[in-house]
Amino acid sequence: MGAASSRLEKALGEQFPEGERYFGLENFGNTCYCNSVLQALYFCVPFREQLLEYYANNKSASDGEENMLTCLADLFSQISNQKKKTGVIAPKRFIQRLKKQNELFRSYMHQDAHEFLNFLLNELVDILEKECKANKETPQNSSSNKSSNGPINGQPNGSHKEPETTWVHKCFQGILTNQTKCLRCETVTDRDETFLDLSLDIEQNSSITSCLKNFSSTETLNAEDKFFCDKCCSLQEAQKRMKIKKQPNILVIHLKRFKYIEQLGRYKKLTYRVVFPLELKLMNTVDNSDLEYSLFAVLVHVGSGPNHGHYISVVKSHNHWLFFDDETVEMTDESMVQTFFGSAQEFSGNTDNGYILFYESVAKTS
């Protein structure tokens, strides 16, 4: 990596962002699924800043036990405090903790990057919520509203109905509304649910916009799928649709590229061409869209099947695009993103396909 890292420094020259660090991550035997997600999260600036703030506030806590949050905070702090601008870091402690925490990731087999991302974000939320609860219950903290999870809004006594909103929620959480309309009495029932990422079904020669449109399309519930209407007190035909009620600050889109084929009795990878734009507006999915999004990371699955292959990530940092492949970090071009759309031909040799997309919200231009 020495020569490669000096090449990267030379390529950026005086444009090397002040205070930024570009480090590859060592692979500990099929841990590319983890490395690629960690790189995308490191360059998710609001998440990184909050995590480093958490680390600064908690590194002196002697009674704190090691967990996924402390290990991730320690790793991000190691990277950001490196004297060199580029190089390689071994995320050994983090990987060890991950394997200890979840048996799914213990083997040296190929793992799913989306499953790992999901597990990690939910694990961080659980730890932060427990710390928040513990801080509230500690008598010496009752006079202060500060906790390891940052400031909390004061709640009236006895009101514990709302779960804590952690900084992980503030980065990634959105709200979906599941809307069902009874076709007999026309009563509309809304059910809200939160999400940290959106999983979208994909079709050949499509786009993120059309996938989102399908996600929010109206479905008729009839025959065996009738809806129980509380007003009619009986099963009725109904129309159902899903829409985004609250847009997240960081929108994570997971393309469902692995599909179970019953005739084969196994999962198959869909290398379909799905175009994802650098700038995204949620037109058909949101009633009042007040946010626009800009692509800053693409997690790519390389390979023809779900049980083998490789993960890499392409990341935008300070208007430069960078290519991360475990220990390797290289400058790349915006046009490289287009090579990960997928293939219009089913049996093409191109198996480098965008799998998880990270978009950050930007101020809407009039």
Other Cβ atoms within 10 Å of 76 Cβ, number: 21
Whether residue 45 is contained in a domain is answered as yes
Q: Is residue 143 part of a domain?
A: no
Amino acid in the structure at residue 280: L
| Residues in the chain where the model's pLDDT stays below 50 | 142-161
Within-domain flag for 152: no
CA–CA distance, 246 with 252 (Å, rounded to integer): 14
Instruction: Print the domain residue range for 205.
Output: 14-130+166-359
Distances (CA, A) of 7 to 3, 81, 329: 6, 21, 10
Per-residue pLDDT, 100: 94
Token pair of 29, please?
């035997």
Any domain includes 207: yes
Structure tokens at 333: 């071009």
Per-residue confidence (pLDDT) for residue 256, from 0 to 100: 96
Q: Which pLDDT value is given to residue 2?
A: 61
Task: State how far the Cα of 24 lies from the Cα of 327, in Å rounded to an integer.
Answer: 4
Per-residue pLDDT tens digits for 26-56: 999 899 999 999 999 999 999 999 999 999 9
Backbone angles phi, psi at 86, to 5 degrees: -135, 160
Residue 61 lies in a domain: yes
Q: What is the pLDDT of residue 75?
A: 97
> Which ranges constitute the DSSP H helices of 231-292?
none
The structural domain count of the chain equals 1
Per the domain annotation, does 81 fall within a domain? Answer: yes
Name the token pair of 142: 């009752």
Per this entry, what is the length of the chain?
A: 366
Sign of the dihedral through C-alpha 187, 221, 252, 195: positive
Active site residues: 32, 310
The CATH number of the domain where 116 resides is what?
Answer: 3.90.70.10
Give the C-alpha separation, 98 to 71, whole Å: 9
Q: Which two tokens stand for residue 141?
A: 């903290």
DSSP state of 271: -
Instruction: Say what the pLDDT of residue 285 is.
Output: 80
- Whether residue 358 contacts residue 247, with contact meaning beta carbons closer than 8 Å, is answered with no
Would 66 be classed as within a structural domain? yes
d(CA 53, CA 55): 5
Task: Give which of 51, 106, 44, 3 is closest to 250, Cα–Cα.
Answer: 44
Q: Decide if 6 is inside a domain.
A: no
